Chains A and B, each alone.
Chain A
Amino acid sequence: MSQWNDICSVADILPNSGRCALLGGDQVAIFRVAGGDGDTFYALANHDPFSGANVISRGIVGSLGERLVVASPVYKQHFCLDSGECVEDGEVKLRTWPVRVEGDRVLLAS
């Protein structure tokens, strides 16, 4: 069963942006999306399959229609925050992790 890992405080991640966390050997991009009824957090792989660089956490967060996405800062492909699916290429999907907040701490499941 999954185990929750304490990563950082909520304040370490600016609203509507991402930070990269190290979880075991994996790089995980955690995003904080501000909303009217509180913030929502998402976690997906930091590795950008198009450029081969570990940069996803540095992308701009936004929406395309109803979907919440992050744009890779290298070649600008969009990935859905909840599913990791690439908007431009249906074959490509980033790994996702469960993420939750307890108090002011952000936790990732491994």
Chain B
Amino acid sequence: MSKREIVVVGNGMVGHHFVNTLVEAATGDRITILGGEPRPAYDRVHLSDVFAGRSPEDLALATRDTYKEWGVEAVFGDPVAAIERDKKEVVTEGGRRFAYDKLVLATGSYPFVPPVPGHEHERCLTYRTIDDLGEIRAKAKDSKIGVVVGGGLLGLECANALQNLGLQTHVVEFAPGLMGVQLDDGGSAMLRRKIEELGVNVHTGKNTQRIVDGDDCALRMEFADESVLETDMIVFSAGIRPWDQLARDCELAVGERGGIVVDTKCKTSDSDIYAVGECALFGGRIFGLVAPGYRMAETAAASVAGTDGVLFQGADMSTKLKLLGVDVGSIGDAHGRTPGAMSFVFSDQRENIYKRLVTSGDGKSLLGAVLVGDCGEYDTLLQYHLNDIELPADPQALILPNVGGAPVGLGVAALPATATICSCHNVSKGDIVGVIDAGCCSLGEVKAETKASTGCGGCAAMLKNLVDDELAARGVAVDKSICEHFAFTRQDLYNIVRVENIRSFDALLDKHGKGMGCDICKPAVASILASCWNDYVLEQPHAPLQDTNDRFLANLQKDGTYSVVPRVPGGEITPDKLIALGYVAKKYDLYTKITGGQRVDLFGARMEQLPDIWGELIQAGFETGHAYGKALRTVKSCVGSTWCRYGVQDSVGMAILLEERYKGLRSPHKLKMAVSGCTRECAEAQGKDVGVIATEKGWNLYVCGNGGMKPRHADLFATDLDDETLIRYIDRFFMFYCRTADRLQRTSVWMENMEGGLEYLQQVIIEDSLGLGAELEAQMAAVIGAYQCEWKTTVEDPEKVAQFKFFVNADATDENVVFVRERKQVRPATEEERAAMSADILATAS
């Protein structure tokens, strides 16, 4: 049998998912994907993140190479112009022809622009693609005011984007309330209250009649009630329309109001043509969310592959999201339109929280729910709804604030096997239990095996609970002891040290450990003691605990010599100090290299040379750079507003302030920071544990990024902070990390493993949800107050200096250290070079 030709029109999220699914099914078909946009599929759901600092590349779901690896032919930027069903071919605008055996339409949708006179104005835009974002950004540059037409889910996303661009933002909605599809009147009103508090102006019940040139701004909107609104730009986001023109032109069945009609296998009226995603109409409905689109893609892929797939029967449109920072959840029949339905409503105008339950008349099943301001119960309620689990006798308890009593909720154990845990990848509880039965024994393994929680991530907390619960039920005791000497985690040890005011390793071992310790627990405890009390690390009881780098306050290299990195705060250095560095490097013949952290690294220092080298560096005004420690390393910076044409804040000044503040802070792993003076981000702050990027109004704070083996971009944590708030948040963030992270756990992994992730961290740091803020700040103040330059203390103490002698009984040096010269500097000799040298010596001797 010759290979079939499968052609997919449209390379959005759903088209991509179809191809991915079919490739995994390994049918041996030839697959071609034709994308109208000039780039491969990307995550449209998180489009507005681009304005919050994410790059378009971050949103990519695939690259051209992805398709190459899959053996899929991919054509971008040449949209399909026609389908010729009689020839079974599609023709692109560029005139290319592709024959198909099976055709899949994943053309998606386009933004609906109401046909208001004036809507063609060049300052009227739409919000749908990455190219649209470019347009919006360009127009926003010379705008002060921006209007979004449409108060639905996409409209509010777009309003968020305009706010992030610094515009005074208005939302204009035709209907009487915001998000009328997902929210009831009470929820909609609460959402309005909240977003108005955030400075967005909301106008509902507004019927736009005309858009004309404005007096004060570029445009004026005139409404049916004779009111007007002046604005510099307008973005239409008033709903979507299925992109079904290709189907209409070739006379496939389409719905009255658009959409390509499909059956439960996602087949159109032509059985060789499928339609999936937002261009498809099933049961008279368009499914404008990504999860149902993915389900359709899987159904169609199974049908194409000829395997027994799950039929598409419509989809649950429940959704949970964060709009302009406000939590909003909508489940099932949110409006209570089912005959006989009952409602339970809780509204708190002080905290701006609104919750509504819609139950059946007998109060036994959950038909729907609305949550605004707090989505804590969303997962539980969704499970009640999807699995038709019988509600407790007092269903209102599910949404009432938990005053005093135990939390009400549905434990994961109570869920049936069919319960969907991850709706993005359609993973059920049964699937997860299955892979655990098959041998997965950690959260990471379960995620890798099932893809659960790798889509929107909304189910992360529930997944973790489920995995923990299942592992516990199997008697898998997850031993989190740090090593054989302490039956505690690092976090436990940290708390014990603090609470019991323990000042030395021996005291901790006597009370809580056994044996004599090892190379795992000793440095870990030394680090905890340093985070808590910040004693001099070479003080007698502490010195033997330190890893060799900390023990000799330098970085051990492969030949047993060390490298030396003096601190250069913010990367700013005077010519005199640079000359001093060069002088020392030359005098001791050290290999000299500029580091990525804007400092200078001097290699090839013998152990016994370190005190002399540091004596001279200290004389020249340098301090230790802690390059050897699990501690704050550097704060990198760009040159900032002082010199740069684009800078908006003094990034160097802030970097120096931060580096001087946090220098010497010892932590579970190394810490790196950077400060950029504008959004061009020349300091690469988003690759650091803590990154600070200047805005017109202050500073945006990013956390938990890193380079290295598994690079991770930092997450935007808080925006437009003044200096004082920025420092307060960083104080709390660092101390909370020192307190709760595992040994050698970078901030990124720490946050990823934290239940609730970034949001939880924001609650703890920004909202002070644990009431720890003041304590963390006080602890940081104590660490800062106890700072000393360890090298200064060391060179001033002859007993400490004596420990650096290579031989305890001789003044000789290690003859095993042999350098050769390369590019005018020293480097360790290779094995061959050593062999050749000793042969020479032997030859000379004989």
Contact = CB atoms under 8 A, between A and B. Distances in A.
Given A16-B544, A55-B556, A73-B547, A62 B809 contact: no
Interface residues of B, number: 34
A61 interface: yes
B808 A30 contact: yes
Nearest to B557: A53
Contacts of A63: 485, 515-518
Given A53-B560, A58-B552, A19 B808 contact: yes
A68 B516 contact: yes
Nearest to A33: B516
A65 B807 contact: no
B548 interface: yes
Contacts of A51: 558, 560
Contact of A17 (B484, B485, B519, B543): B543
A14 B540 contact: yes
Contacts, number: 95
Nearest to B560: A53
B545 A60 contact: yes
B271 interface: no
Given A15-B544, A53-B560, A73-B556, A22 B812 contact: yes
Given A53-B558, A58-B548, A21 B808 contact: yes
A86 B274 CA distance: 65
B556 A7 contact: no
A39 interface: no
B131 interface: no
Nearest to A32: B544
Contacts of B12: none
A55 B548 CA distance: 9
Interface string B552-563: 100010111000
Interface string B804-822: 0011111010101000000
Contacts of B355: none
Contacts of B769: none
B551 interface: yes
Contacts of A7: 808-809
A8 interface: yes
Contacts of B803: 14
B468 to A, nearest CB: 30
Given A17-B543, A53-B816, A60 B518 contact: yes
Nearest to A18: B544
Nearest to A6: B809
Contacts of A30: 808
Contacts of B521: 62
Interface in A46-66: 47, 51-55, 58-65
Interface string B273-304: 00000000000000000000000000000000
Contacts of B516: 16, 33, 61-63, 68
18 contacts: A12-B808, A20-B807, A21-B809, A22-B812, A27-B807, A27-B814, A30-B808, A47-B816, A54-B816, A58-B556, A60-B522, A62-B515, A62-B519, A63-B518, A64-B518, A65-B484, A65-B515, A68-B516
